[in-house]
A = this chain, B = another copy of it.
Amino acid sequence: MALVVQKYGGTSVGSIERIKNVAQRVVATKNQGNQVVAVLSAMSGETDRLINLANEIDPEHSRREYDVLVASGEQVSISLLAMAIEALGEKAISFLGSQVVIRTDSDHSRARIQDIEGDRIKEALTGGFIVVVAGFQGVDEDGNITTLGRGGSDTSAVAVATALTADVCEIYTDVDGVYTTDPNICKEARKLHKISYDEMLELASLGAKVLQNRSVEFAQKYGIPIHVRSSFSDIEGTIVCKEDESMEKAIVSGVAYNKNEAKVTIRGIPDRPGIAASIFSAIAEEGIVVDMIIQNTSAEGLTDLTFTVPKLDYDHAISALHKINQEIDASEIDGDKNIAKVSIVGIGMRTHASVAGRMFTALSQENINILMISTSEIKVSCVIAEKYTELAVRVLHQEFELAKDTTDES
Protein backbone atom coordinates (compact mmCIF):
# COMPACT_ATOMS: atom_id res chain seq x y z
CA MET A 1 0.00 0.00 0.00
CA ALA A 2 1.51 3.30 -1.11
CA LEU A 3 0.91 6.71 0.42
CA VAL A 4 0.12 9.23 -2.30
CA VAL A 5 -0.07 13.00 -1.79
CA GLN A 6 -1.98 14.74 -4.59
CA LYS A 7 -2.03 18.48 -5.08
CA TYR A 8 -4.80 20.11 -7.11
CA GLY A 9 -4.47 23.75 -8.20
CA GLY A 10 -7.15 26.39 -8.46
CA THR A 11 -8.16 25.49 -12.01
CA SER A 12 -8.60 21.82 -11.07
CA VAL A 13 -11.10 22.78 -8.32
CA GLY A 14 -12.47 25.83 -10.16
CA SER A 15 -16.12 24.70 -10.30
CA ILE A 16 -18.50 22.27 -8.62
CA GLU A 17 -18.18 19.95 -11.63
CA ARG A 18 -14.39 19.98 -11.43
CA ILE A 19 -14.42 19.36 -7.69
CA LYS A 20 -16.58 16.29 -8.37
CA ASN A 21 -14.04 15.13 -10.96
CA VAL A 22 -11.21 15.54 -8.48
CA ALA A 23 -13.24 13.51 -5.96
CA GLN A 24 -13.51 10.69 -8.49
CA ARG A 25 -9.79 10.75 -9.16
CA VAL A 26 -8.98 10.73 -5.45
CA VAL A 27 -11.37 7.85 -4.78
CA ALA A 28 -9.98 5.90 -7.75
CA THR A 29 -6.48 6.31 -6.32
CA LYS A 30 -7.67 4.97 -2.98
CA ASN A 31 -9.44 2.06 -4.68
CA GLN A 32 -6.13 1.13 -6.30
CA GLY A 33 -4.98 0.29 -2.80
CA ASN A 34 -3.35 3.58 -1.75
CA GLN A 35 -3.70 5.92 1.16
CA VAL A 36 -4.49 9.36 -0.25
CA VAL A 37 -3.94 12.91 0.97
CA ALA A 38 -5.25 15.70 -1.29
CA VAL A 39 -3.76 19.19 -0.89
CA LEU A 40 -5.83 21.96 -2.46
CA SER A 41 -5.60 25.53 -3.64
CA ALA A 42 -8.60 27.87 -3.52
CA MET A 43 -11.13 27.68 -6.36
CA SER A 44 -9.69 29.68 -9.27
CA GLY A 45 -10.75 33.32 -9.12
CA GLU A 46 -11.52 33.16 -5.40
CA THR A 47 -8.15 34.47 -4.19
CA ASP A 48 -8.37 37.37 -6.64
CA ARG A 49 -11.91 38.15 -5.48
CA LEU A 50 -10.72 38.31 -1.86
CA ILE A 51 -7.68 40.43 -2.71
CA ASN A 52 -9.95 42.88 -4.51
CA LEU A 53 -12.12 43.18 -1.39
CA ALA A 54 -9.01 43.92 0.68
CA ASN A 55 -7.84 46.55 -1.80
CA GLU A 56 -11.26 48.20 -1.75
CA ILE A 57 -10.98 48.52 2.04
CA ASP A 58 -7.40 49.78 1.96
CA PRO A 59 -4.64 49.09 -0.57
CA GLU A 60 -2.18 49.37 2.34
CA HIS A 61 -3.89 46.59 4.34
CA SER A 62 -1.88 44.73 6.95
CA ARG A 63 -0.34 41.44 5.90
CA ARG A 64 -1.62 39.65 9.01
CA GLU A 65 -5.25 40.41 8.15
CA TYR A 66 -4.61 39.70 4.47
CA ASP A 67 -3.60 36.19 5.48
CA VAL A 68 -6.76 35.69 7.56
CA LEU A 69 -8.78 36.84 4.55
CA VAL A 70 -7.24 34.82 1.73
CA ALA A 71 -6.85 31.66 3.82
CA SER A 72 -10.65 31.42 3.72
CA GLY A 73 -10.34 30.42 0.05
CA GLU A 74 -8.88 26.97 0.72
CA GLN A 75 -11.29 26.51 3.61
CA VAL A 76 -14.09 26.55 1.02
CA SER A 77 -12.41 24.20 -1.47
CA ILE A 78 -11.32 21.58 1.09
CA SER A 79 -14.76 21.30 2.69
CA LEU A 80 -16.45 21.01 -0.71
CA LEU A 81 -14.02 18.29 -1.85
CA ALA A 82 -14.51 16.36 1.40
CA MET A 83 -18.29 16.51 0.81
CA ALA A 84 -17.85 15.36 -2.80
CA ILE A 85 -15.72 12.39 -1.69
CA GLU A 86 -18.30 11.46 0.94
CA ALA A 87 -21.00 11.63 -1.75
CA LEU A 88 -19.08 8.85 -3.53
CA GLY A 89 -19.33 6.70 -0.42
CA GLU A 90 -15.80 7.12 0.96
CA LYS A 91 -14.87 8.56 4.35
CA ALA A 92 -13.22 11.98 4.07
CA ILE A 93 -12.03 14.66 6.47
CA SER A 94 -10.70 18.16 5.78
CA PHE A 95 -7.97 19.95 7.72
CA LEU A 96 -6.86 23.57 7.73
CA GLY A 97 -3.20 24.51 7.99
CA SER A 98 -3.77 25.33 11.65
CA GLN A 99 -5.29 21.92 12.32
CA VAL A 100 -2.67 19.70 10.65
CA VAL A 101 -0.41 21.54 12.04
CA ILE A 102 1.56 23.29 9.25
CA ARG A 103 3.88 25.47 11.32
CA THR A 104 5.46 28.47 9.56
CA ASP A 105 7.47 31.52 10.50
CA SER A 106 5.55 34.78 11.06
CA ASP A 107 6.47 36.47 7.78
CA HIS A 108 2.86 37.05 6.74
CA SER A 109 1.86 36.56 3.08
CA ARG A 110 5.23 34.96 2.28
CA ALA A 111 5.74 32.66 5.24
CA ARG A 112 8.06 29.66 5.04
CA ILE A 113 7.07 26.24 6.33
CA GLN A 114 9.17 25.19 9.32
CA ASP A 115 7.56 21.97 10.38
CA ILE A 116 4.48 19.77 9.92
CA GLU A 117 3.23 17.71 12.83
CA GLY A 118 1.20 15.33 10.69
CA ASP A 119 -0.03 13.09 13.51
CA ARG A 120 -3.60 14.01 12.86
CA ILE A 121 -3.30 13.14 9.16
CA LYS A 122 -1.66 9.80 9.96
CA GLU A 123 -4.41 8.98 12.45
CA ALA A 124 -7.12 9.79 9.89
CA LEU A 125 -5.37 7.72 7.19
CA THR A 126 -5.13 4.78 9.57
CA GLY A 127 -8.84 5.20 10.22
CA GLY A 128 -9.53 4.74 6.51
CA PHE A 129 -10.19 8.40 5.71
CA ILE A 130 -9.17 10.24 2.60
CA VAL A 131 -7.56 13.38 4.01
CA VAL A 132 -8.05 16.79 2.40
CA VAL A 133 -5.59 19.49 3.47
CA ALA A 134 -5.68 23.23 2.78
CA GLY A 135 -2.60 24.25 0.81
CA PHE A 136 -0.98 27.68 0.80
CA GLN A 137 -1.67 28.31 4.48
CA GLY A 138 -0.16 27.63 7.86
CA VAL A 139 -0.05 28.94 11.38
CA ASP A 140 2.77 30.61 13.29
CA GLU A 141 3.97 29.93 16.80
CA ASP A 142 1.37 32.29 18.28
CA GLY A 143 -1.54 30.73 16.40
CA ASN A 144 -1.79 33.48 13.77
CA ILE A 145 -2.84 32.35 10.28
CA THR A 146 -0.10 32.71 7.68
CA THR A 147 0.08 32.17 3.92
CA LEU A 148 3.01 31.06 1.81
CA GLY A 149 2.51 33.43 -1.10
CA ARG A 150 1.18 32.65 -4.56
CA GLY A 151 1.83 29.11 -5.74
CA GLY A 152 2.52 28.06 -2.17
CA SER A 153 0.18 25.07 -2.43
CA ASP A 154 2.87 23.16 -4.34
CA THR A 155 5.18 23.68 -1.40
CA SER A 156 2.44 22.66 1.05
CA ALA A 157 1.94 19.42 -0.86
CA VAL A 158 5.62 18.54 -0.92
CA ALA A 159 5.98 19.46 2.75
CA VAL A 160 3.01 17.25 3.66
CA ALA A 161 4.50 14.44 1.56
CA THR A 162 7.78 14.89 3.40
CA ALA A 163 6.16 14.88 6.84
CA LEU A 164 4.32 11.66 5.99
CA THR A 165 7.29 10.14 4.09
CA ALA A 166 4.90 9.64 1.17
CA ASP A 167 5.89 7.49 -1.77
CA VAL A 168 5.12 10.20 -4.28
CA CYS A 169 3.77 13.73 -4.47
CA GLU A 170 1.56 14.20 -7.52
CA ILE A 171 1.06 17.79 -8.63
CA TYR A 172 -2.05 18.10 -10.79
CA THR A 173 -2.09 21.13 -13.02
CA ASP A 174 -3.56 22.30 -16.31
CA VAL A 175 -0.58 21.04 -18.34
CA ASP A 176 0.23 17.35 -18.55
CA GLY A 177 3.91 17.54 -17.64
CA VAL A 178 7.20 19.32 -18.20
CA TYR A 179 8.10 19.85 -21.87
CA THR A 180 11.45 20.27 -23.60
CA THR A 181 10.20 23.73 -24.45
CA ASP A 182 6.96 25.70 -24.81
CA PRO A 183 4.73 23.67 -27.19
CA ASN A 184 2.99 26.91 -28.20
CA ILE A 185 6.23 28.08 -29.80
CA CYS A 186 7.78 24.84 -30.99
CA LYS A 187 5.50 22.11 -32.27
CA GLU A 188 8.28 19.52 -31.83
CA ALA A 189 8.30 20.11 -28.07
CA ARG A 190 8.26 16.75 -26.28
CA LYS A 191 7.05 15.86 -22.80
CA LEU A 192 9.90 14.66 -20.58
CA HIS A 193 9.49 11.37 -18.70
CA LYS A 194 11.88 12.47 -16.02
CA ILE A 195 13.81 15.54 -15.08
CA SER A 196 16.22 16.20 -12.23
CA TYR A 197 15.45 18.61 -9.40
CA ASP A 198 18.33 20.86 -10.50
CA GLU A 199 17.10 21.10 -14.07
CA MET A 200 13.56 21.77 -12.90
CA LEU A 201 14.82 24.59 -10.70
CA GLU A 202 16.70 26.17 -13.60
CA LEU A 203 13.76 25.80 -15.97
CA ALA A 204 11.35 27.28 -13.44
CA SER A 205 13.54 30.27 -12.72
CA LEU A 206 14.05 30.79 -16.44
CA GLY A 207 10.37 31.24 -17.08
CA ALA A 208 8.79 27.78 -17.40
CA LYS A 209 6.10 28.17 -14.77
CA VAL A 210 5.11 24.62 -13.88
CA LEU A 211 6.17 24.23 -10.25
CA GLN A 212 6.96 26.74 -7.56
CA ASN A 213 10.73 26.73 -6.99
CA ARG A 214 10.50 26.36 -3.25
CA SER A 215 8.48 23.15 -3.63
CA VAL A 216 11.23 21.66 -5.84
CA GLU A 217 13.92 22.67 -3.33
CA PHE A 218 11.89 21.02 -0.59
CA ALA A 219 11.39 17.83 -2.58
CA GLN A 220 15.08 17.74 -3.44
CA LYS A 221 16.12 18.24 0.18
CA TYR A 222 13.99 15.32 1.38
CA GLY A 223 14.22 13.16 -1.76
CA ILE A 224 10.47 13.10 -2.48
CA PRO A 225 9.71 12.44 -6.18
CA ILE A 226 7.22 14.87 -7.72
CA HIS A 227 4.91 13.69 -10.48
CA VAL A 228 3.66 16.65 -12.52
CA ARG A 229 0.51 15.66 -14.41
CA SER A 230 -2.81 16.91 -15.76
CA SER A 231 -6.00 16.86 -13.74
CA PHE A 232 -7.97 16.60 -16.99
CA SER A 233 -6.49 13.33 -18.27
CA ASP A 234 -5.07 10.05 -17.01
CA ILE A 235 -1.83 9.99 -18.95
CA GLU A 236 1.52 9.91 -17.19
CA GLY A 237 3.16 13.25 -16.66
CA THR A 238 6.76 14.09 -15.77
CA ILE A 239 8.64 12.79 -12.73
CA VAL A 240 10.92 15.33 -11.06
CA CYS A 241 13.46 13.31 -9.08
CA LYS A 242 17.12 12.66 -8.30
CA GLU A 243 19.50 12.48 -11.23
CA ASP A 244 20.01 9.07 -12.71
CA GLU A 245 22.02 7.69 -15.59
CA SER A 246 19.19 7.78 -18.11
CA MET A 247 18.97 11.54 -17.69
CA GLU A 248 22.62 12.12 -18.45
CA LYS A 249 22.33 10.73 -21.94
CA ALA A 250 20.66 13.94 -22.97
CA ILE A 251 23.09 16.83 -23.02
CA VAL A 252 20.30 19.37 -22.90
CA SER A 253 16.90 18.67 -21.34
CA GLY A 254 15.01 21.81 -22.21
CA VAL A 255 14.98 25.25 -23.79
CA ALA A 256 13.46 28.05 -21.76
CA TYR A 257 12.76 31.68 -22.58
CA ASN A 258 11.79 34.79 -20.69
CA LYS A 259 10.45 37.98 -22.27
CA ASN A 260 9.88 39.78 -19.00
CA GLU A 261 13.30 41.34 -18.57
CA ALA A 262 14.88 44.55 -19.81
CA LYS A 263 18.55 45.44 -20.23
CA VAL A 264 20.23 48.44 -18.63
CA THR A 265 23.65 49.65 -19.75
CA ILE A 266 25.91 52.15 -17.98
CA ARG A 267 28.85 53.31 -20.06
CA GLY A 268 32.09 55.02 -19.23
CA ILE A 269 32.18 54.66 -15.48
CA PRO A 270 35.52 54.84 -13.65
CA ASP A 271 37.01 51.37 -13.23
CA ARG A 272 37.60 51.59 -9.46
CA PRO A 273 36.59 49.53 -6.41
CA GLY A 274 33.17 50.30 -4.94
CA ILE A 275 31.56 51.58 -8.08
CA ALA A 276 29.50 48.40 -8.73
CA ALA A 277 28.50 48.35 -5.08
CA SER A 278 27.17 51.92 -5.32
CA ILE A 279 25.15 51.08 -8.40
CA PHE A 280 23.59 47.84 -7.18
CA SER A 281 22.91 49.23 -3.70
CA ALA A 282 20.95 52.04 -5.31
CA ILE A 283 18.98 49.53 -7.41
CA ALA A 284 18.33 47.21 -4.45
CA GLU A 285 17.09 50.09 -2.31
CA GLU A 286 14.30 50.56 -4.84
CA GLY A 287 13.30 46.93 -4.33
CA ILE A 288 14.38 45.94 -7.85
CA VAL A 289 15.77 42.44 -8.35
CA VAL A 290 18.70 42.22 -10.78
CA ASP A 291 19.18 39.03 -12.81
CA MET A 292 22.24 38.92 -15.14
CA ILE A 293 25.22 41.26 -14.64
CA ILE A 294 28.07 41.72 -17.11
CA GLN A 295 31.04 44.01 -16.84
CA ASN A 296 33.41 44.72 -19.71
CA THR A 297 36.78 46.34 -19.33
CA SER A 298 37.16 49.24 -21.67
CA ALA A 299 39.90 51.66 -22.47
CA GLU A 300 41.34 54.57 -20.44
CA GLY A 301 40.40 53.31 -16.96
CA LEU A 302 36.72 53.39 -17.81
CA THR A 303 34.35 50.42 -17.92
CA ASP A 304 30.82 49.52 -19.09
CA LEU A 305 28.28 47.66 -16.98
CA THR A 306 25.19 45.87 -18.29
CA PHE A 307 22.49 44.11 -16.27
CA THR A 308 18.90 42.93 -16.61
CA VAL A 309 15.89 43.85 -14.46
CA PRO A 310 12.19 42.95 -14.70
CA LYS A 311 10.63 44.89 -17.57
CA LEU A 312 8.13 46.46 -15.17
CA ASP A 313 10.98 47.97 -13.12
CA TYR A 314 12.95 49.34 -16.08
CA ASP A 315 11.88 53.00 -15.91
CA HIS A 316 12.28 52.93 -12.17
CA ALA A 317 15.83 51.57 -12.49
CA ILE A 318 16.84 54.18 -15.05
CA SER A 319 15.64 57.05 -12.87
CA ALA A 320 17.40 55.56 -9.83
CA LEU A 321 20.65 55.56 -11.78
CA HIS A 322 20.22 59.15 -12.94
CA LYS A 323 19.77 60.12 -9.30
CA ILE A 324 23.19 58.73 -8.34
CA ASN A 325 25.03 59.74 -11.51
CA GLN A 326 26.89 62.57 -9.79
CA GLU A 327 28.50 59.87 -7.71
CA ILE A 328 29.18 57.26 -10.43
CA ASP A 329 29.93 59.76 -13.19
CA ALA A 330 28.81 57.60 -16.12
CA SER A 331 29.12 58.96 -19.63
CA GLU A 332 25.86 57.32 -20.69
CA ILE A 333 22.92 55.48 -19.11
CA ASP A 334 20.62 53.69 -21.48
CA GLY A 335 18.96 50.36 -22.09
CA ASP A 336 16.59 48.23 -24.07
CA LYS A 337 13.18 46.84 -23.21
CA ASN A 338 12.87 44.75 -26.35
CA ILE A 339 15.03 41.84 -25.32
CA ALA A 340 14.49 38.21 -24.38
CA LYS A 341 16.54 35.64 -22.55
CA VAL A 342 16.84 32.21 -24.18
CA SER A 343 18.39 29.39 -22.17
CA ILE A 344 19.38 25.77 -22.52
CA VAL A 345 19.33 23.58 -19.40
CA GLY A 346 20.72 20.09 -18.83
CA ILE A 347 22.75 18.14 -16.31
CA GLY A 348 24.52 16.54 -19.27
CA MET A 349 26.48 19.79 -19.67
CA ARG A 350 28.58 18.86 -16.69
CA THR A 351 30.23 16.09 -18.68
CA HIS A 352 30.02 17.49 -22.21
CA ALA A 353 32.30 20.27 -23.42
CA SER A 354 31.42 22.83 -26.07
CA VAL A 355 27.69 22.92 -25.36
CA ALA A 356 27.82 26.72 -25.13
CA GLY A 357 29.77 26.88 -28.38
CA ARG A 358 27.12 24.82 -30.17
CA MET A 359 24.46 27.20 -28.86
CA PHE A 360 26.28 30.34 -30.07
CA THR A 361 26.95 28.77 -33.47
CA ALA A 362 23.35 27.72 -33.93
CA LEU A 363 22.14 31.24 -33.13
CA SER A 364 24.72 32.93 -35.34
CA GLN A 365 23.74 30.74 -38.29
CA GLU A 366 20.35 32.42 -38.12
CA ASN A 367 22.00 35.83 -37.75
CA ILE A 368 20.72 36.22 -34.23
CA ASN A 369 23.04 38.57 -32.38
CA ILE A 370 23.89 37.70 -28.76
CA LEU A 371 23.74 40.74 -26.46
CA MET A 372 24.67 39.10 -23.14
CA ILE A 373 25.77 35.67 -22.00
CA SER A 374 25.47 34.04 -18.59
CA THR A 375 26.29 30.48 -17.62
CA SER A 376 26.00 28.11 -14.69
CA GLU A 377 27.01 24.49 -14.27
CA ILE A 378 23.87 23.19 -15.99
CA LYS A 379 22.64 26.22 -17.96
CA VAL A 380 23.63 28.70 -20.67
CA SER A 381 21.53 31.84 -21.14
CA CYS A 382 21.76 34.35 -23.97
CA VAL A 383 20.05 37.72 -24.17
CA ILE A 384 18.88 38.48 -27.72
CA ALA A 385 16.50 40.91 -29.42
CA GLU A 386 12.95 40.03 -28.42
CA LYS A 387 11.74 39.61 -32.00
CA TYR A 388 13.99 36.56 -32.46
CA THR A 389 12.70 34.68 -29.40
CA GLU A 390 10.55 32.07 -31.13
CA LEU A 391 13.11 31.50 -33.88
CA ALA A 392 15.89 31.03 -31.33
CA VAL A 393 13.85 28.54 -29.29
CA ARG A 394 13.11 26.44 -32.39
CA VAL A 395 16.72 26.54 -33.59
CA LEU A 396 18.05 25.43 -30.21
CA HIS A 397 15.38 22.74 -29.83
CA GLN A 398 16.55 21.30 -33.15
CA GLU A 399 20.27 21.78 -32.56
CA PHE A 400 20.15 19.69 -29.37
CA GLU A 401 17.75 17.11 -30.87
CA LEU A 402 15.19 17.57 -28.11
CA ALA A 403 12.35 16.10 -30.19
CA LYS A 404 14.16 12.76 -29.96
CA ASP A 405 13.57 10.71 -26.83
CA THR A 406 16.95 9.49 -25.55
CA THR A 407 15.88 8.09 -22.19
CA ASP A 408 15.49 4.42 -21.34
CA GLU A 409 11.75 4.64 -20.98
CA SER A 410 11.17 5.60 -24.63
Interface, chain A (partner B; CB < 8 A): 16, 19-20, 50, 53-54, 56-58, 60-62, 64-66, 68-69, 71-73, 75-76, 78-80, 82-84, 86-87, 92-94, 96, 98-99, 120, 143-145
Flag if B68 contacts A94 (CB, 8 Å).
Answer: yes
Interface of A is mostly: helix
14 contacts between A and B (CB under 8 A): A16-B53, A20-B57, A50-B76, A53-B76, A57-B84, A58-B83, A58-B84, A62-B86, A65-B82, A65-B94, A68-B75, A69-B80, A72-B73, A72-B75
Nearest residue (CB) in B for A98 is: B98
Flag if A79 contacts B66 (CB, 8 Å).
Answer: yes
Residues of B within 8 Å of A73, CB to CB, are: 72
Cα distance A30–B69 in the bound complex, in angstroms: 24
Residues of B within 8 Å of A75, CB to CB, are: 68-69, 71-72, 75
* Nearest-Cβ distance from residue A56 to partner chain B, whole angstroms: 5
Nearest residue (CB) in B for A43 is: B53
Residues of B within 8 Å of A65, CB to CB, are: 79-80, 82-83, 86, 92, 94
Residues of B within 8 Å of A79, CB to CB, are: 54, 65-66, 68-69, 72
Among B16, B50, B58, the residue within 8 A (CB) of A56 is: B16
Chain copies in the assembled complex: 2
Nearest residue (CB) in B for A92 is: B65
- Beyond contacts A68-B96, A99-B143: 9 other A-B pairs, Cβ-Cβ < 8 A, are A20-B57, A62-B82, A62-B83, A62-B86, A65-B83, A69-B83, A72-B75, A72-B76, A99-B144
Flag if A86 contacts B61 (CB, 8 Å).
Answer: yes
Cα distance A93–B58 in the bound complex, in angstroms: 15
Cα distance A135–B323 in the bound complex, in angstroms: 52
Nearest residue (CB) in B for A71 is: B75
Query: Counting chain B CB atoms within 10 Å of each CB, which of A20, A83, A98 scores highest?
Result: A83
* Nearest-Cβ distance from residue A58 to partner chain B, whole angstroms: 4
Cα distance A76–B61 in the bound complex, in angstroms: 14
Residues of B within 8 Å of A143, CB to CB, are: 99, 120
Would you list the 10 A-B pairs with minimal beta carbon distance, nearest first?
A69-B79, A58-B87, A68-B79, A72-B72, A72-B75, A61-B83, A65-B79, A57-B83, A16-B56, A65-B82
Cα distance A143–B123 in the bound complex, in angstroms: 14
Cα distance A78–B64 in the bound complex, in angstroms: 12
Residues of B within 8 Å of A83, CB to CB, are: 54, 57-58, 61-62, 65-66, 69
Nearest residue (CB) in B for A145 is: B96
